[in-house]
Every structure is written in C-alpha cells, then in structure tokens.
Structure 1
Amino acid sequence: MIKLPSFIFFFLCLSIAQAELIKNSLAAIHSGIAWYDDQGDMVSAHGAGIIKDGDRFYLFGEFKNDGGNEFSGFSCYSSTDLVNWTFENIALPVQKEGRLGPNTVGERPKVMKCPSTGEYVMYMHTDDIRYKDPAVGYATSDRIDGEFTFQGILEFDGNRIRKWDMGIFQDDDGIGYLITHSGNLYRLSDDYKSVDVQIVENMTQACESPVIFKRDGLYYWIGSGLTAWERNDNYYFTATDLRGPWKEQGHFAPEGSLTWNSQCTYVLPIVGSKTTTYMYMGDRWAHPRQNSAATYVWQPLVFDNGKITLPEYQQSWQVNTSTGEWTTYPLKGKAIDPQNKKWTKLSGSWEKHTDAEGFSDLRSNQKGDTLSLEFSGTQVGFYSVARSDGGFGKVEIMDRDGNIVLTTIVETYCRYTEESLKFLSPKLEDGDYTLTLTVLGERFFWQAKTTTWGSSDDYVSVSKFLISH
C-alpha cells in the first residue's frame, strides 16, 4: 500500500465535497490557469512529459508542494482529449531512503515504452536538496498506470551522468535518447537502462529543460536560459541528423514575451487522421507556491519552412485528437466590471488603476482585502492585469448553503504588463454562488546566489469577471 503525504491526503479528502458540485467537462485547453482533475483537485504535474498508450494520453510530472522544493512524488494523470484529466496515482512516491528519499530533489520525469522489453521506463533528475549531487535516475513499471520501481542512477561507462535538467527522445526506429542541459545527447541501450554512447557533447551553454522532437525529417532541440524559476525567452536549434551539426535558430516566441511566460518541458506530437499538431508544453512557475499557483502553458506550434514559432498567445484552444486539427476557442459569458456595485462587494483598499499602456483594473496589495462576486450559473472566471508588482490571491467559491466548493491560488505577476485569464472554475451545478478573492500579501520570489528574481510587490488584480450558464 502506498502511503500518501499528508498534504495529498488533505486534497483527496477535500475533493469529496468538491465532486458533488464540479463536473469535469471542460471544452478547451486554457493556458495560465489552474486545471482540475476528475476528483476536483488541482492537476499537479510540472516538468512533465506525455506518452500516448492505446487511446489515452498519460501525463507524468512533479507533484509539487508549497514552500519548499523537496521531492514529493511523481504524479500520473490520463486523458482522451488532453483537456479533462483523471488522476491515476502517485506513480513514483517518496522512497524510504536513498536518492529519492526524504529531503531530496526529484524533477522532470519522462516516460518511454522500451520496444525490446515492453517495460515503461521513467527517467528523472535526482539530487540532494542543495542541488550539489546531480544524477539521472530511472524507474520501471510493467504497466503505464502502475507504480514505478526506482532502479537507481543511469550510468555511462560505469559512471553517473552528473547533470540536472534532462529530457528524453524516442526516434521513429524505437531508439531512445537522453538529453541533458548544456547540449548533451546520449543514445540509450536496447533495454533503455544504460547509455551506449554519447553522440553530442556540450553543443551549447545553458539550454535547461531540454526538449527534442522531429518533424518531416528535421530534428528540433529547444531549451531555456538560466533564470532559476523566472521565465525567459526560450530558443531552439535544428539538425537533419541527431549527431549534428546543430544550427542555432533563435527564439520561437516573440522576443520579450518570455515564451508567453513559461519554461519548456516537452513537445507532444498529436497525430491524427488529417494532420499532426505539435503541442508545446511549458511550466509557468510560481515559487514558492509551486503546488497551488504554478500553472501550465500549452500552445500549438506553427511551422514555416523548417522554422517554429508561437506567434500569438492562444489563451483557449481545442485540438481534435482524432484528426489532429486545432482551432481557437472563444470564451463566452456575461462580462462583469469588478467595480459594478450591483454585482461586487469590496473590503479594504481596492483601487482603480490605469497605466501608461492603457491597461485598467481594480487592484489591492493589502493583505486580507477581499473582493466578492455573487452570481448564478455553472461557471465563473476572471481576467487580471499582470505586472511586475503582482502577487498571490486566494479564490474561494461558496454555494448558497455556505459550503466551500472550490479553493485555489492565483498569481498576477509578469515582468511585462499583460492582461489574460487568471481563473476559470470547473463546471458547477447550476446554482447560486459567491466568489471571494482575498489578497494574501505574498509574491513570487527567488534568491539565486547574488541574483534576486520575482515581483516587487503583492498586488492582486481583476479587470473583468465572466459568468456562464
């Protein structure tokens, strides 16, 4: 029997009350907001990868916690549409001791099915809590949705691979590869449990969270700069052979967009009967609230003569997993101005703010200030203006009987000013509810050696509510 950490048990218990009201029936991929699984809990699968097995997609990622970065287990979710996720299990829990025992680091789990053995092999970064003892580890399972058994570290010529950020790639011929930061690529053995040969060495500097994928005979290698949990402009290389030469191509999202506020983690080919959509998967980290506020940025890549771009931020979009086609998805509903006193109630020091770029919102940085919206319907969301002084807020939805049906955390921080969807509830039973947003007096913050990253203040923002029936 797997003993779940206490905070996981808490969320599982909370989901019992949530499940009475929440229907897991979203219609689109919404980037930059919390997602909820079939039990009403937040999906927690960061640094993730996806593998398709049969007619289901399996998402493996880091089950994060708030406050620290110690290993809390790797989660597994499954879906047929890449929108609505079923919690399968903690695929690899914290071990009693060793490299993934208490007070250790475990990151970026990726799973491949080994063609020669039929086993599912999971790879991950293992480390001590100070990131001073990196090594690539691996675990195995006979079932895609089973518990994985940690097997130890992956070796090359009898030695560990002393790298932290890593990824995997499986080519059309079934050969598996391990990718690490700084541009290193290793070919795995037939059983995927060791390294045969290193085929690319120190191709570039940095290039954290490395990803390789292939389209029309051309290989793409993407990675991010070294900015700790802060977002940056990710970049990519291309080659016609995995051994190189690799040609630097620059950024693939508009410069200064910070890859739409994300760090790459995987690219999933969604192969359909009509076309293949290549889905960029990124993390929008929210240290120190990596469990409750970190979100996901999943976007369809655009190709043009071997170049890749994410030219526009697709806030909401759909992909047909049968045909492989994707389309934008316009959110519909009744828009409510947060300053409309017929709908909202304010407590504290909320103020209307309009900046030089023309963005206008209602915001506060005073801990404990609340903004409440009473509504009737089946879904509620809101947009915010994110700025370099944004912080964390708590969202709580209560039904007419005073039962809390949903609690989550939102973040309204960005190094540049932008307005986007920051919260969208799952489907609710049609009824009367109150949404309350509370300023937490906390912010995104990270100290890396002599560099400080993050927000300058604790402002929480709302520019528009959206109510659906």
Structure 2
Amino acid sequence: MILNGVPWFDDRGEVVNAHGACLVDHEGRYYLFGEHKTDDVNRFDGVGCWSSADLEHWTFERVVLPVQPDGPLGPDRVGERPKVMRCPATGRFVMYVHADDLGYTDPLVAVATCDTVAGEYRWHGPLVHQGEPVRRWDIGAFQDDDGTGYLLVHEGDVYRLGDDYLTAEEKVAENLAPGGESPAMWRSDDGYHLLMSRKTSWERNDNEVLTAPSVHGPWRHAGLLAPEGTLTHNSQCSFVARVRRGDDVVPMYLGDRWSFPHQASAATQVWLPLLTDGGPARLGEYWPAWDPATGEPVPLDRDAAGAVAAVDAPFRSAGPGDRLEVDLEGARFAVVGTSDDESGYARVELLDDGRVETSHLVDFYSKVPDTGPRYVSPVLPAGRWTLRVTPTGEVPTWSQKDGTRFGSTGSRVTVHRVLVLA
C-alpha cells in the first residue's frame, strides 16, 4: 500500500529522499527520480533514483545525476524538479532539471541523458530555444500518446521538444497561469489537464486545474484540484504518473509535503488517484493509506482479519525535555497524532533493550489541521520494542525575500495512540 504524509524507507532502511519527483514505468518496473535534498542549505545534492515493482517497496538504485565539478549543476548551486522521459526517436532517457544559483538569480533548464534508465546521466548543457538557453525555473514534463515531448514551466508556458528531446522547438502556449508554478500535465479521453500550484514558498496551497482539447489550446481555468481549503491535501503537485491497474493505465497524482528546513529527513509524499472521468482532473478525499492495485483506501487501524492492536498514548508537549515512551510487541508500528499550525518537529525512535535501532525526524506542522498517521516505522524484527517520541522544540518557520513569514507559530507535538501494524 501507499502511505501518505509519512517517511518511506528503501531496501537499506534509509528514507526515500526524492522530491519534486517523477515516475517512469520501464519494462514492468517503476523508477522514481527526485531531488536528493539536504537538511541545511537548499543546494543541489544530486538526483536520486529508486525502483519498485509495486509502488510500496523501494530499492535504491543510485544518485543518477551527481553534483558536477563545476558549471550550472556544480557545487553550491540549486538543482530542482528533475523530470525524465524516454525519447522514442533515440531510445535514450532524457532528464531536465532546473539549475540556479542559491539566490535564484541565474536560472536555466539543464539537460542530461543516459542510455539506461537508472545509469549515471551525462550533463549536456542548457535546453535551448531559438538559439538561447531556456532561463526558467519551476519545470515539469509531459509525453503525449504519440511520443511528442513537452517542457512545462512556471506561469504556464509550454514548449514542444525536438525529436531528440534535446532542444525546445516551439513555444505552443504562454502565460496560461500567471502566478503559477510546479506544473504537471495529463491527457485523458476528455482532453488535456494542466495542474499548477500557486507561489507560496514551501507552504501548501489550493492547486488549480486548466483544461484544453489540445496542448495548443484553447485553455480554460477549470477550478481547484482538491476540495477548497484542503491546500491540495497539504501538498504541492509535482507530476502525474501513468500507473498500471489490471489491464488499464490510470493517472496518479504525485505531490510533495515539504518540511522546511529539514527537507531531506522530514519532507514526505502525497500520492493519490487522479480522477478525470467526464471532466477536469480532480483529487477526491484524502487517504492516509491506499492500494494502488485496486485504487481503494486501506484503513490502517484494521487488517483483513479485523482490528489492529492500538495502544492509547495521549501526549501533548512543546518542550524538548519531555518525552513519550510506550512499550510494544510486534514488528511495525504507527504513531497517530495531530498536525496543525502550532506544531513542530519530534524525534521518533524505536529502542531494543535500551538501544536505539531507528531514529527519524517527524514534522507535525500543517496549516490545515489533520489527525492521522504521522509516522509508520520500517518493518523490524518481531519482538519487544520501546517507542519514544521526543519534541525537538524547533519551530518550522521560514520567510520570503520580502519578509513574508510562513510556517508554524509553535513547536507542539500531539500524539493520540500507537498502532501495531505487524
């Protein structure tokens, strides 16, 4: 099952650190590409790649595009929103990355290629349109059913790529969504759907949808992607993936739940079925857990045989000196708590006979209050464990260049109960 809003773990037991991501289905396996974020300065640390057969169990492949010795993707630069498509004309995999300086004053769209999906990608240079580099930032990519590739950029500009995907041949749409960023596109039987976030820094917002009968338009605004006020289920769109379900291929929304400043350790994903039947693309209700094979929610507090064991563990504190400890028996555990705009970070640990075996930073902040799973552990050896939750006292907050403040007003951590999932 897919778990939303909690850390994911790969075959090494490490957090899947892939953001601004895309998903490529190649030879019966899914490949997840994303920003390999850091927990200090928002600098380029490479593009990571993970693979999965079922969208639940992830194998770390490698950092497929490392920091370059110099140039636009060199040290102390920004590298964001990697998007990968396989070019039908050449068979090569082509990656696009927004490259920039740390002050976001030197943007361009960088291009890298590889002969294999998860090999090391070779940096080519900037994507060029009419002989000049495309100096844009928030980017997306879309491959149409006929193999035509498109680059999507902030404000709602769309470029058609050349046959080899290495140049931007034609600007087919311009300024479709003033003030928009983080574009993603999907084609359904009803036409084309363009998803755009608003510009609210790392904060979430109500993402919008545009529709058209053709990539060339005419485009029209078609409302919000998710119910108003949910802030797109506390996420920002990054990609729409094609996912196999039986004999069908269905769209799936990929969104980021950013966690500034601890993006590497505490930012999470929100993946949900995208609904497009008979109208604009939409997200239905939020599901903390769901089965991509059926497209149905999975209640975490129950399994096929009945109720999952639950331990009441009421805890509410903002003090870094306080802690919750619960003795448990099992192999996998979930912490159920409340996130809101007065909450901060907690360190969640699992101890075996006093020894810390797992330790993860968990973000309890959200502008829209939510009660649900805040943490689901990796699968551990079955036995007796002590689960420890410790508030760090840190307030998740940040400011834009104009001084606008975003984030929490406090560092509270609220836990209600612990579930024994296995």
TM-score between the two structures when normalised by the length of structure 2:
0.96
Say if 2:231 is the partner of 1:248.
no
- 8 Å CA contact 2:36–2:45 kept in 1: the answer is yes
- 8 Å CA contact 1:207–1:222 kept in 2: the answer is no
Number of the residue aligned with 2:413: 460
Could you tell me how far 1:274 is from its partner in structure 2? Answer: 3.9
Number of the residue aligned with 2:173: 200
Distance (whole Å) between structure 1 residues aligned to residue 421 and residue 403 of structure 2? 47
Could you tell me how far 1:143 is from its partner in structure 2? Answer: 0.8
2:299 corresponds, among 301, 319, 330, to 330
Residue identity opposite 1:372 in structure 2: E
Distance (whole Å) between structure 2 residues aligned to residue 235 and residue 303 of structure 1? 14
Greater CA drift, 438-447 or 183-192: 438-447
Say if 2:31 is the partner of 1:58.
yes
Number of the residue aligned with 1:399: 352
Say if 2:385 is the partner of 1:436.
no
- 8 Å CA contact 2:245–2:292 kept in 1: the answer is no
Residue identity opposite 1:57 in structure 2: Y
1:94-109 → structure 2 map (5 Å cutoff) = 94-109=67-82
- 8 Å CA contact 2:398–2:405 kept in 1: the answer is yes
Q: CA RMSD in A?
A: 1.1
Cα distance change, pair 179–423 in 1 and its aligned pair in 2 (3 A): same
Could you tell me how far 1:304 is from its partner in structure 2? Answer: 4.0
Number of the residue aligned with 2:286: 313
Residue identity opposite 1:466 in structure 2: L
Distance (whole Å) between structure 2 residues aligned to residue 274 and residue 191 of structure 1? 30
Could you tell me how far 1:68 is from its partner in structure 2? Answer: 1.4
Could you tell me how far 1:309 is from its partner in structure 2? Answer: 2.2
Residue identity opposite 2:411 in structure 1: D
Say if 2:4 is the partner of 1:31.
yes
Residue identity opposite 1:330 in structure 2: P
Could you tell me how far 1:217 is from its partner in structure 2? Answer: 4.8
Deviations 1:50-99 (A, max 9, x none): 01110100000001110210000100000010111000000101111111
- 8 Å CA contact 2:83–2:140 kept in 1: the answer is yes
Cα distance change, pair 273–366 in 1 and its aligned pair in 2 (3 A): closer
1:388 corresponds, among 332, 341, 346, to 341
SS in 2 for 1:44: coil
- 8 Å CA contact 1:120–1:142 kept in 2: the answer is yes
Could you tell me how far 1:413 is from its partner in structure 2? Answer: 1.0
SS in 2 for 1:427: coil
Distance (whole Å) between structure 2 residues aligned to residue 468 and residue 327 of structure 1? 19
Say if 2:408 is the partner of 1:408.
no
SS in 2 for 1:291: helix
Distance (whole Å) between structure 2 residues aligned to residue 368 and residue 49 of structure 1? 40
Percent of pairs identical after alignment? 43
Distance (whole Å) between structure 2 residues aligned to residue 169 and residue 77 of structure 1? 20
2:133 corresponds, among 154, 160, 163, to 160
Number of the residue aligned with 2:305: none
Number of the residue aligned with 1:352: none
- 8 Å CA contact 2:234–2:368 kept in 1: the answer is no
Number of the residue aligned with 1:20: none
Distance (whole Å) between structure 1 residues aligned to residue 332 and residue 244 of structure 2? 31
Say if 2:210 is the partner of 1:258.
no
Could you tell me how far 1:206 is from its partner in structure 2? Answer: 1.9
Unaligned 5+ residue runs, structure 2?
303-307
1:311-390 → structure 2 map (5 Å cutoff) = 311-320=284-293, 325-331=294-300, 332=302, 333-339=308-314, 362-390=315-343
Residue identity opposite 1:255 in structure 2: E
Distance (whole Å) between structure 1 residues aligned to residue 362 and residue 51 of structure 2? 25
Could you tell me how far 1:459 is from its partner in structure 2? Answer: 0.5
Could you tell me how far 1:425 is from its partner in structure 2? Answer: 0.7
Distance (whole Å) between structure 2 residues aligned to residue 236 and residue 457 of structure 1? 33
- 8 Å CA contact 2:84–2:95 kept in 1: the answer is yes
Residue identity opposite 1:109 in structure 2: P
Deviations 1:78-121 (A, max 9, x none): 00101110000001011111111111000000100111111110
- 8 Å CA contact 2:210–2:280 kept in 1: the answer is no
SS in 2 for 1:144: coil
Number of the residue aligned with 1:358: none
Residue identity opposite 2:413 in structure 1: V
Say if 2:397 is the partner of 1:445.
yes
Aligned length: 415
SS in 1 for 2:232: helix
Residue identity opposite 2:75 in structure 1: P
Distance (whole Å) between structure 2 residues aligned to residue 457 and residue 56 of structure 1? 42
Unaligned 5+ residue runs, structure 1?
1-27, 340-361
Number of the residue aligned with 1:349: none
- 8 Å CA contact 1:277–1:326 kept in 2: the answer is no
Distance (whole Å) between structure 1 residues aligned to residue 112 and residue 332 of structure 2? 40
Distance (whole Å) between structure 1 residues aligned to residue 39 and residue 321 of structure 2? 20
Residue identity opposite 1:421 in structure 2: P
Say if 2:90 is the partner of 1:137.
no
TM-score between the two structures when normalised by the length of structure 1:
0.87
